[in-house]
Structures are given as structure tokens and as C-alpha cells.
Amino acid sequence: MCRGGDRGAKVADPAVGAGGDGFVARERVRMGTITINGQVCEFMAGEKILDVANRVGIEIPQYCYHKGLSVPAQCRICLAQISAPNPRNDNALEPMMGGKLLPTCSTDAAEGMVVTTESEKAVANQKAVMEFLLINHPMDCPICDQAGECTLQDYSYRYGRGHSRFTDQKVKQPKKDLGKNVFIYSDRCILCTRCVRFSQEVPGTGELMIDGRGNQSQIDVFPGEPLDNPLASNVIDLCPVGALLDKDFLFTQRVWFLKKTPGIDPITASGDNIWIEHNKGKVYRFKPRTNMDINSWWITDEVRYGWKFVHSEDRLRAPQRREHGVLVESSWTRALNQAIKTLKDSSATGKSSALVVSPMLTTEEAFALTTALREVDGSIRVYLGPVPMDGEDRAFPNPSAPSGKFVMRAEKAPNARGVKRALEASGAYSGDFDAFMSAAPQLGAVVLTGNYPSDWASDRIAQAISDADLVLIDTLNSRLVEMADVVLPSATFAEKSGSFENVDGVVQHFDQSIPTQFMSKSEGQIGNDLLELARGGSLDEHPPAFGAMIVDDQPGQVAEGSDSVSLPRGELYDPAVVRASMGSLSEYFGGLKVAPESAKVESDMVMVEL
């Protein structure tokens, strides 16, 4: 984008800013060109100089600026020397403000401007700002959670002096508990005020403030008002240093061991874009992934910490089947054969069977499982599972996003629309969960899929299916396990790939992050395995590699010891193959938004060989 162009023409703006990942392209009006550090760059309507630099990849150091917040221009590290054409002097290029340094984050880009952050004066300012910020900063990088993704650390290499001239005592400040999920280590704070502005401008709760004056200033909450709003933990991501820390992630991993895989909110119907960060088969944290059309830069705490059930002690670990009235652990083959027999016996007695497909499943899995079970029992009725709701949608102001708001969704399932669409496409859709509850007393057998992040087995569900034989495909232990004739452990969102359709009808793909845990399988793989056995085949004829499947050959991707895990399977489940077989839905998947590549979490600090 650093070249001349047609003024007024519309171009794609990859929405790159602080924290941006270029996932969504938006159209902006092209206004003209400016020169930044010798590179001629197009600029768009309403862009500041720093926006242009961030978008085209020219580095200008920045702390207080964030594209999603107001612009106080207070850290002063982005200052540059700027010249602009003077219309009162025949458009001759003249230094702005008499040659004083100006903040690029708050100065509008204008035609013909020439900007430099590499002049002697600009570099002297960068060194002065870094020295000032580091005067009272503790030397605790080796034990700081932010090390490896800290802009103070990175900039001290690139813009700092390399040594300290400060010989006095550093001011020591306390560590404080700010709220449910956030600690502050005050003496690491550089007072950029991103966190204060966020709490005032987005959730609008304004719990945070600066307390004290001069070198005694520190971020704190107002008395009796803990930082506990639904978006609170976004301040952790906004903090450019290791001052605001995630209680849940603290001291669990060094960030350079983490690998990040693009994901979609697996907890609510928002479709929020996330990074799933993991190492050695274990998820450690979620971070927001910028998508200006959906979640902009933020996610709710509900989504951020919604992954904990992936590694719950309550995970169902192995298939089980009822033998002489007792539930016993089983091989996959015997459990699946018993599931097939349960459906066939119900049909033989003249009673109907039903499949309930959870809105936690991917669209492809819903289709694959339905197709497989219809081959086992051609008369099986198929229903959408319960869609949890919690009150009403909550809209928060989000002034810098195109929609002007950030919405927390009341619907607590990621894919009710996609699953319903897949069931309709399969030709077997019999209705929603209320329709299932009405039909339940007449059913002979029920295949029930769950995969909810917490215990979802209500008395109402248990009572409704108490007379039917139950094949349970679920993730967590519940009272339904005690009622089931066959229990099949299913994989969570992190252990599979596929697509979710959000509340606005946007279909988005996500990748598998970690190998399947214990002996669980994705519902899609369970469908393939059922088909194999129903057709008289054997699971053991296939290479026993599913459980140990290497998702990606990057370091940190495979669970320790997983090489020894091997589960017999039918044809390997592949969402792309299912999509290709979904005939009437091919147009629906035509607009599938493909996520960016997985990546390593890494700072851009240059590694020095010692």
C-alpha cells in the first residue's frame, strides 16, 4: 500500500492497528499520500499518521494509543518531525509547529505530509521517554508474565539507551487485587491509561482511575468498586506491560512456548473471533482476534474463560456400556455395536427412535452424525438440542468500531443456526427441543448429544426420557450417564475443526487446537465409526492413529505421551469432505470465512546469541 493511488477511490483496509491481525478487509475512501520515514503511503479518510504506519507496517513506537479507544497522546513516544505543504506559501513544504515534535497518534494524515521518526530529534525523544519510563520500573523481567510479549521490553531494545543512568532508590509500589480476574503489579505500570479509558468508554463502568500524583501515581479501583464488569479482562490485553495480569494464566506458562490457533467463540452465539493458545495438548488461555465486523478488539470474560471444561476432572474418559444392568468401561467397537443394537431393538418393537443434536456441535458434525444414524435407522427422527438462553442481549458502547457497539449474546450456544440448517439439509429435521420433549414419552430409544460446558442434564430432560433406551454422546459427567445404556465420550471444540454460524448468520471456520483428550472422539468421527460398523466393517482395519493424530508439526502441538494413544476408527472424519457432500448447502459454505494460519506467540525482539 506504500505507493501512489487514485484519490477518492475505495480500497480494502485490512484493519491493522495495535493488536490487529488483518483478518477482515473493510472499504475505506483513499484520500492521498504521505511520506513516512521515506516511504510514500496512501492514507484513508479519517486516518491519523500512526494509523497509516500501523496499516502499512512501518514501525512507530506507541504505548497509549489503541485504535479502539480515545486518543490522549500522553505517552509521547510516537512523536515525529512533520512537514506539510503550506498553501499560503505556494504549497512549499514547511515544518509544522515551527519544527516541534508532534504526536503521530493524534495528528491527522494530510496530503503531501513528510513524517520522520528517525531524525536525531525524534530518536532523542524516544530515548528520553524510554529512560523516563524505566526509572522506577523493576528489573523483574525473568519472573514477569508479560516477558516475551511486552512492548516495554521490546522497545527498550530498539529505542532505549541500553544502560541506566539512574542511581537513586526506585519507588516501590504495591501488588493489588483489582477484581475477579485481574491483579495489578503497580510498579510495572507506565500510566498509559489504556485500562482507565477502556473501563470508561466500552463497558462504561469506569471502575479504574489514577490515584496519587507524580511518581506516587498508581492505577486503582474506586473504593468498593472491584473491576468486575462482563468485559473486564480486556484490560489485561490492553496493558502494554506486565502491570495488569490474568489471575487464571499467572505463572502457568512462558508465552514463547505457546502456539496459537484461530478459533470461534465456543460458548455463546456471538461468533467472536479468538486465538486459542496452547502447549503440549493443553489450552492455557483465549485472546481476542480482531474482526471489525463481529467482535472488533474485545471478548467477554464469559468467552475468555469459557474453555475450562476442556480439561475438567469431570471429562468422560472412555466409552461405557450397560452390561447386566451395570455400566462398564468398554472398547469403542463394543460400545458402538451396542448403540446400533439399541436403535435396531427399538425399531423392532415398533417404537420410534430420536437423535437430539446439540447446538454445541459444528455444522459438519451435525450433518455427518445425522447421515450415519439415518443409515442405521431409516425412520429416526432428528431434533435440535436445547439452546440455553440467559436474559437478553447486552449492548455496550464501542465508539471506534463500525457498528458503534459490542454485544454480549444471551444465547449460550455457538451453532444453533448451523446445526438446524444441517438437519434440514439432511431431510430428517423433526423440530426443535420443545418438539422433542413432546415426542419423548413415545420414543423407544434416544441418541442424545451434549457437549455443553457445564452440567446441562435437568430434571425435565431426565424425566422425559426415563422410559427410553439412551445412547449418550457427551463430554462431562452428569446424571444422564447413570441413565444411559451406552456412553460415548465426545471431544470439545478445541479438539476438532469445523464451522459455526453465529446469531447474525455469519459462517466461520475454526481449526483443531489440541489432540482429542483421553479416549474421546469428535461427534463427526463417531458418526463415521457408526457407519463403518453398521455396514459390517471393522474399526480395526484402519490405521489406529486418530487419537495420536498430529494436528500440526510445530513444536508444542502434541500432548506428551500421546504417541502411545491409538484408537481404532472408521474413515477419518474430515469436515471438508462433509461440506463437499452437503449438496444443497454448498452455497451456504461458499461464504465461509477462513481463519488465518496458526502461529507461535512471539515477541518481535531479536534473539541474541551469547
CB of 465 to ligand SF4, least distance (A): 51
Q: What's phi and psi for 494, nearest 5 deg? A: -70, -15
Q: Which does 76 bind (CB under 5 to 8 A by kind): ligand SF4, ligand FES, none?
A: ligand FES
Residue closer to ligand SF4 by CB (options 297, 546) is 297
CA–CA separation, 83 and 555 (whole Å): 48
Helix (H) or strand (E) holding 301, with range, is helix 301-304
CA–CA separation, 309 and 513 (whole Å): 15
Question: Is residue 63 a contact residue for ligand FES (CB under 6 A)?
Answer: yes
One of 14, 32, 68, 103 touching ligand FES (CB under 6 A): 103
Binding residues for ligand SF4 restricted to 220-259, rule: CB under 6 A:
238-241, 243-244
Question: Is residue 191 a contact residue for ligand SF4 (CB under 6 A)?
Answer: yes
In this structure, the number of other CB atoms found within 10 A of the CB of residue 38 comes to 11
Question: Is residue 190 a contact residue for ligand SF4 (CB under 6 A)?
Answer: yes
CB of 103 to ligand SF4, least distance (A): 17
One of 62, 229, 353, 508 touching ligand FES (CB under 6 A): 62
CB-based burial of residue 326 (10 Å sphere; 0-12 exposed, 13-18 middle, 19+ buried)? exposed
Question: Is residue 78 a contact residue for ligand FES (CB under 6 A)?
Answer: yes
Question: Is residue 189 a contact residue for ligand SF4 (CB under 6 A)?
Answer: yes
Question: Is residue 132 a contact residue for ligand FES (CB under 6 A)?
Answer: no
From 193-201, 381-389, 395-403, 426-434, give the range in contact with ligand SF4 by CB under 6 A: 193-201
Which amino acid appears at position 63 of this protein?
Y
Residue 466 DSSP code: T
Residue closer to ligand SF4 by CB (options 170, 600) is 170
Question: Is residue 127 a contact residue for ligand FES (CB under 6 A)?
Answer: no
One of 56, 73, 435, 548 touching ligand FES (CB under 6 A): 73
Compute how many residues bind ligand FES; rule: CB under 6 A: 12
Question: Is residue 65 a contact residue for ligand FES (CB under 6 A)?
Answer: yes
CA–CA separation, 601 and 75 (whole Å): 26
Length reported for the chain:
610
Helical segments of 457-520, H only: 459-464, 479-483
Q: Which does 191 bind (CB under 5 to 8 A by kind): ligand FES, ligand SF4, none?
A: ligand SF4
3-state secondary structure 207-230: CEEEECCHHHCEEEECCCCCCCCC
DSSP letters, 136-193, are T--S-GGG-TTTTS-HHHHHHHHTS-SS----SPPPP--EEE-SSSEEEEGGG-----
Question: Is residue 129 a contact residue for ligand FES (CB under 6 A)?
Answer: no
**Alpha carbons within 13 A on the beta-carbon side of 241:** 26
Residue closer to ligand SF4 by CB (options 136, 512) is 136
Compute how many residues bind ligand SF4; rule: CB under 6 A: 15
CA–CA separation, 599 and 375 (whole Å): 40
Residues lying near ligand FES in the complex (CB under 6 A) are found at 62-65, 73-78, 103, 105
Q: Which residues of the chain form contacts with ligand SF4 (CB under 6 A)?
A: 184, 189-195, 219, 238-241, 243-244
